[in-house]
Structure formats: C-alpha cells, structure tokens
Amino acid sequence: MTAQPTRSRLWAEFVALYGVCPLLIAVFLPPRLMFPALFGFTALGLLLLSRTDGFRWQALVQGPRIPWGRVVGFTLVTALASAAVIFLTQPDAAFGLVRHNPALLLVIFALYPILSALPQELIFRALFFGRYGALLPTGPAALALNAAIFAFAHLMYWSWVVTVMTFAGGLVFAAAYVKGRSFPLALILHSLAGCVIFAFGLGVYFYSGNVVRPF
C-alpha cells in the first residue's frame, strides 16, 4: 500500500506545479519550447493524479446528465464576448482562420478538445481539487483560487486578454466540476470555449509564436 503524502509534501507539490513551473515557462523558456514543456508539465500532473488516494479514472466519465441548455447559453455568451474582444482589440484578425485557412480551423476543432482541453481539465480541475482539495478554502473562494491559478498558468502569453478570458473561463469550468459534480461538463464547456475563441480570431492571443515578453 502506498504511503499517503504528508501535508507539507502536498503543499510543495502544489506550489511547484501551479506556481513555479508556469512562472519558469513564462519567463525563461523560448516560445518554441513552451509546448514541449507544457506536455512535460501535463505528464507530471497525470502521474500525480494516478497516485492520488481515492481517485478512479472511471469517475471522470460519471456525473449528472449534461444540462445542454446551459451549454448552449455558455457558448452564446462566449461567442458574444469573443466578438466584442476581437473587434475592440484586433479587428483585422476577426475570423482570420475562417477567412484564410478554414481547413486549419477544422483541424483545431477536431484536436483542441483532446490535446488541449482534456489535459488542462485533468490538471486544473481533477488533480487540483482531487489531490489538493484539503489544502484549499471552500465554496466560492476555492473556485476563485482555481480560476486565478488557471489564468496564471497562461502567463506565458503575456496578454491581459488571455488573463481575463482564462480567469472567467476558469470560474465556469471549476463551477461545472465542483458544483455541477461533472468532469464531462467541464470538458465540454472548455472545448467549446476554445473552438469559439479560435473561430472568432482570438487565436492570435493564444499562439506561442506571437508571444512578446515585456522585458
């Protein structure tokens, strides 16, 4: 039987995984190495998740029925917010992939849920609350902390647009996971948000090749 980690070890893991790693990636890594580093970060998180007491992989596909009305409403709100942001900040980039490279957009639609949304939800929802829940505040404070850490993990883009959008999205995804008791719902919402963001042209903010550090 595997010995349970001490509270001190859990805190050390938490700070390293959600604080130190994103900061090092944002400050020191060249953009071309950001995604390999993120895959390593994800692999470490999945290893910790697999070693978390009481965690069962099959629990990730369980939960209440998906509230499709809420899903549609969230998608519409995300579309309106994305339209407002892109037209106010970079109107020339609006619907860039739709206009210039629709094939790439379809590839993003197909792969984003699996290669981006899924690993992020595993690390920032399942691992965050499942392994480190005992360290965290409860109620709305826990959701706000999760959203803040999720936004901080996107520091590598050095964009206030990314920070605001990932914080807002983090609140919704965390609420779906914790209050909705549904990993599938969090994953669906995250996947749709990402696809909408790229469709409206906000991928210009979420592309590592466009990263410009302020120093």
Per residue in 6-62, pLDDT (tens digit) is: 999 999 999 999 999 999 999 998 878 877 887 888 899 899 999 998 898 998 998
Given a cut of 70, whether residue 1 has pLDDT beyond it is no
Cα dihedral value 19, 47, 127, 30, nearest 10: 30
Q: How many CB atoms lie within 10 A of CB 9?
A: 10
Closest to 70 in 3D by CA, of 144, 173, 197: 173
The Cα 194–Cα 106 span in angstroms is: 12
| pLDDT the model gives residue 2 | 58
Q: Which of 197, 210, 183, 172 is nearest to 83 (CA)?
A: 197
Mean pLDDT for the chain?
93
Maximum Cα interatomic distance, the chain, rounded to a whole number of Å:
58
Tell me the C-alpha distance between 34 and 116, whole Å. 14
What pLDDT score was predicted for residue 38? 79
